[in-house]
Structure formats: C-alpha cells, structure tokens
Amino acid sequence: MEKYITNLYGHGNASTAMYAQHMVTDIAKDEGYLELAIPTLRASEDSDSELRSQIDGILTPLWPENLVIAQMPSWNGIAFDEVFLERLRQRVDKMVVFVHDFVPLMFDSNYYLMQRYLDAYNKADLIIVPSEQMGQKLVSEGLNIPYIIQELWDHPTSLVQLSRPSFQKKLNFAGDFDRFPFTINWDKDIDLDVFSQPKGPNGIVYSHDYLHVRGFKSDELLLHELNQGGFGLVWSENIENRSEREYSKMNVSFKFSAYLAAGIPIIANELLAKQEFVKKNKIGYIASSLDDAVDYVKNMSEAEYDDLIKNVNNVSWLIKDGFFTKKLLLEVEEFLLLKH
C-alpha cells in the first residue's frame, strides 16, 4: 500500500500556510509518504469540466488501495476543495482530511460556507483537527466522521545548534500588524520586538518607545533572532471580520512552535487551545491580559527563567525532530489499518 500526502505550491515565501504544508510533507516523506502537489489555481474562473480535468491530473498516480492525507484548505477556494475531495474519494479507499485552518471559523464573513466545508470533509474516513475544542465545534455544526487531535506543529530547522537564550525582560511577537493591532498601539513599559513587515492598516509602522519593528525574517533568521532571549508572545484579539481571540481557542498557532523551536518560553492569552500544554510542561505563562503578561515578565527572576528554559529545551528537541507530526501519522495509520 502506498501512502500519499497533498502539498501546496505557488504562494509567496512569507506564506505560513504553504510553509506548514511543506513542513508536514517533508516529515511525512521520511515516513514513506509520496507527495501530491497542488498548484495555486483560480478555480472560480474554470468551468466544472476544466476543474475536474485539472484535479484528475493531480490524482493520476492513485490506486484504490492507497492511503491519502489531504492537507486542507488548499487555498484554491471551496469550489476546488469540494471537487478535489469528491474525486479523491472516488479513487481511494482510505482518505484523511488534515485541517490546518477552518475557513468558516477563521473569517466571520465566511461562516455561511460552513455546511459546504463540512459536506466536503465528511467524505473522508477520518479528519485531523487542531484541538478538541474545534472537534466539538465541528460536530455541533454537522461533522459526522471520527476525528483525532493534532497536538502541536513541529518546526524542524537546519540550524545545527542554538545557544541558550539570555535572560531578558522583553516580549517577542511574530505576526502581522494588521491582524494584531495591539502591536501598533503598544503602550506598555516593556520592550516588544515585532517580526513583521512594517506595514499596518494605516500605513508604515515605526519603532517608538518600547515597540521595536524588526521586519519580516526568513525562518532560520527568525529562530536565530528569537533565540537571543526573552519570551515568545502568543496573543490574539478580535478584529473586523476576524474573531481572532475566539479562533485561538480552537486553533494551533504556528508561532507557538516557532518560539519553542528557538528555545524561549511562551506567554499566551487565557483560553488558548494549547494552554494546558503550557501549564503541564511548565514552559511559560497563561495571562489574563497584556498587563498581566507584562507584570509576569517584570517580576521574573533569572533563576525562574532558567527553570523555564530547561523545560522548553525538552519540548524544543521534540519539535525540531518532527516528533508530533510523526506521532500523528502513526495515529492515522493505526486508526485506518487496525480494528477498533
């Protein structure tokens, strides 16, 4: 039996969505999976027959006995994903949908697409969701197939060795100014380094007072910069058309794993989907507000920081080794190939 996994192409270098799919695919290849490349298309401009022809071309290598993991969404639109999963279901006996993001929950204006996404995903034998919270939410909306939980994103890196982060009372944040406007309005008396293009909804964002605009960094450079010390901030707030805070209760943050791969502790907002992971492994702090987060950092001692770093190192090693993705792939195969 051959195993396949889909992989997205055609996005820019700054695309976290594409980076995440490539990361999972690279780990899966080491576990014996073959790649099904999905190009970026303008599906809405194609006729049904053209769309089916394009998709059938992607699926040409498949045989009924194959196992296929479809990383979703493809970001080609729901019309593409519907047809893709329908044609995939017709070709193989074992089909899995791996939800990286769930678009109807990600954007308020796309909630009306909920049933179309669920109908498409319900064609699978199994679905991978970021958290138990999202699993329960989708079941309440009409998901009727079994689901398993993705614990964390991995973050392999070619950096041979990172140094021990230094004790610094500062926060690091990797995220866009327009999606996370609290960064633009930063008025706390503690340093915040923001790794993003210096452009927000109202123009260029400049460093001021305690806000330091560090610009977009490639992955290895980002990890190197984060590794200098301080804390990694995982924080969301609701903005127009995006209930970021609500979504963070169900989703797995990619920056969460980037901070851990860089070896620095986490500070995250209350009710984050992975807050219990933070508490259980003692790798950071769950804050009720930004003021609470700032107070925590201000009152941190170097000895306490060193204890956090030791705990982070254990998780960091696993993330950089692809542990959580490998574990997830084994869970998929156990579910599909062994009797339950």
- Cα distances from 327 to residues 21, 28, 121, 324, in angstroms, run 16, 11, 22, 5
Encoded tokens for 84: 């893709």
List of residues 6+ apart from 140 with CB closer than 8 A: none
Q: What is the mean pLDDT of residues 66-91?
A: 96
Q: What is the pLDDT of residues 29-76, one digit of tens each?
A: 999 999 999 999 865 666 788 889 999 999 999 999 999 999 999 999
- Cα distances from 94 to residues 42, 89, 125, in angstroms, run 28, 8, 7
Q: What is the pLDDT of residues 176-216, one digit of tens each?
A: 898 898 999 899 999 999 999 898 888 899 899 999 999 99
Which pLDDT does position 46 carry in this prediction? 65
Q: What is the mean pLDDT of residues 253-262?
A: 95
Q: Which of 11-20, 181-190, 288-297 has the lowest mean pLDDT?
A: 11-20
Which pLDDT does position 160 carry in this prediction? 66
Domains and CATH numbers, the chain: 3-154+322-337 (3.40.50.2000), 166-320 (3.40.50.2000)
Provide the whole-model pTM: 0.94
Contact 61, 34 (CB under 8 A): yes
Specify the residue for token string 């009152």. 299
